[in-house]
Structure 1
Amino acid sequence: MAETEIREPNIRETDNQEKDIREFVELEFTKLSKLVGTIQPLIEIINLWRLLGYGMLVLALLDTIEIFVPPSVMNPTWEFQTMGRLVNQVGVPLIAMLFVFSGKLTKRAKWEPRILSFLSHLTLLVALLYLLLIPLGVVNTVRLYNTNLEQIRAGYEQRLSQANQAEKQLSQTSPTEIDSLIKRQGGSLNGRNPEDVKNQILSELTQAKQQLKTQKETNQSSVTLNLFKNSVKWNLGALISAALFFTIWKETRWARKKVV
């Protein structure tokens, strides 16, 4: 068999290969430089987000303290309204958490990992607290419903009792007494029959009692509707808030790693 001829690499080919390698390295280095230049402004924005997040958390804490001061535990109205305020203001701490946790551990100060670990654990506690608001909200809804109906009923019965008392007294009043009563008040029958005036007043009292009943039913309907609208809104809001805080806790497990 003929020996295989081994050809030495041509110097020109070697130079071309080295040139291609240099061009490839320069091209990749240029791409990397552009990428770094693009990322740097993003890192600066993330740092700003984090600063805003910490500030919003402090503001949210101050708002929460203001909500609970002064406390009025066992007062269904205060508890129900407090629940509503906590749900209505939940957007601020949620956005703050998003800002604070952005970028994970990239470019963090030395003190931040411990704060992030604390905040991550805190989100689970807050999620549980929002879940506990739901049964409390349902119980307070029932308590307020019964209280409102009792107040409306008591007010209606009081005014109805006054109208019945006036009707009874008027029924026992003679035409002469009616004439004297009107004159004492500076009025005059103007030739009208006292009995007709008496019947007219009795008729007006009957209409007033019917209006009281209609007003009571309207108030009951309006108060009940507003109460249940707020109850549904705030209980669903508490459930959604709990789910969002739980999601943040779940997605920030990297922040709960052992901090040296």
Structure 2
Amino acid sequence: MTILQSQARQVFYSSILRLVGYGLMLITIINLLFLLIKAEISPLSEFQTMIAIMERIPFALMGMVLIFYGGRSDRSFVEAIIFKFLSWVSLMTAVVLILVIPLNINNSWQIYHQHNATADGQFVMLKDNLQRFKEQLTAANSKNEISALLQQQAKQIVNIPESANIEKLKTDLIANLQNNQDNLNNQEQAFRAQKRSLLLQQCLRFNFGALISSILFLMIWKTTEWAR
């Protein structure tokens, strides 16, 4: 293979890589536009949008690397302008990624409180109802009172046999209610722990991803000084 053939092949491969780079950048831009268009102004929506954007950052990084591959060789005047623009875009992206980290932490904190409010809405009323029913059963002293309480809860007629031991019945019912309360407390703790763990994982993943991506974009800007 002659030197000219080797150079021609290198130019061909470089052109293919650059074309792939432009394609990746175009796909990334389209995806980002759609994400931003449908985004809403709320902590949860902003949090989800930023995570979705972070998942597409590697494509932008790869696209930039492929576009800048080969330096100035075999470039048109239009590409020189694109290089200069992308070089500054890499710097702006690095700055934006650093700035959104505090925003992401703030959104995570607000979402955490929203999850707690959701847990309160789901479990506090149930716990209060169980506790109230337990107190009413404890205060009941006759078969008729216990029967009325059971009918109120079951929304249907409840017949207690004449031979039933009222004290034993009360004890069994209260013990069953206590088990239900314990199970409900365990469900509430599991719900809160699951939401907190998932939120923390997503927050840390985004923050570390944003920090690393910011450093990489900054390195691209630094190493493409020739394009500016």
TM-score scaled by length of structure 2: 0.87
**Equivalent residue runs for 1:86-125 within 5 Å:** 86-125=53-92
Matched AA of 1:120: S
Q: d(CA) in 1 for partners of 2:112 and 2:8?
A: 58
Partner-residue secondary structure (3-state), 2:195: helix
Q: d(CA) in 2 for partners of 1:114 and 1:55?
A: 18
Q: d(CA) in 2 for partners of 1:190 and 1:211?
A: 32
More divergent stretch after superposition (60-69 vs 163-172)? 163-172
Which residue, 14, 26, 33 being the options, matches 1:58?
A: 26
Distance 1:190 1:64, change over 3 A: farther
In structure 2, the residue matched to 1:208 is 180
**Equivalent residue runs for 1:170-209 within 5 Å:** 170-173=137-140, 174-178=142-146, 185=157, 189=161, 192-209=164-181
Shift of 1:222: 2.0
**Equivalent residue runs for 1:22-41 within 5 Å:** 34-41=2-9
Q: d(CA) in 2 for partners of 1:177 and 1:142?
A: 48
Partner-residue secondary structure (3-state), 2:189: helix
Shift of 1:127: 0.9
Shift of 1:209: 1.1
**CA RMSD of superposed structures (Å):** 2.4
Shift of 1:122: 0.9
Matched AA of 1:155: Q
CA contact 1:145–1:224 (8 Å) conserved in 2: yes
How many residue pairs end up in the alignment? 223
Partner-residue secondary structure (3-state), 2:103: helix
CA contact 1:116–1:255 (8 Å) conserved in 2: yes
More divergent stretch after superposition (152-161 vs 235-244)? 152-161
Q: d(CA) in 1 for partners of 2:212 and 2:47?
A: 17
Distance 1:167 1:36, change over 3 A: same
Q: d(CA) in 2 for partners of 1:224 and 1:186?
A: 42
More helix by share: 2
Tell me, yes or no, if structure 1 residue 49 matches structure 2 residue 21.
no
Structure 1 segments unaligned to the other structure (5+ residues): 1-32
Partner-residue secondary structure (3-state), 1:141: helix
Q: d(CA) in 1 for partners of 2:79 and 2:96?
A: 25
Tell me, yes or no, if structure 1 residue 155 matches structure 2 residue 127.
no
Quick one: percent identity of the two aligned structures? 26
Shift of 1:126: 0.8
In structure 2, the residue matched to 1:141 is 108
Shift of 1:194: 4.6
Q: Quick check: which has more Rg, 1 or 2?
A: 1
Q: d(CA) in 1 for partners of 2:46 and 2:128?
A: 34
Tell me, yes or no, if structure 1 residue 246 matches structure 2 residue 221.
no
Structure 2 segments unaligned to the other structure (5+ residues): none
Tell me, yes or no, if structure 1 residue 81 matches structure 2 residue 48.
yes
Matched AA of 1:223: K
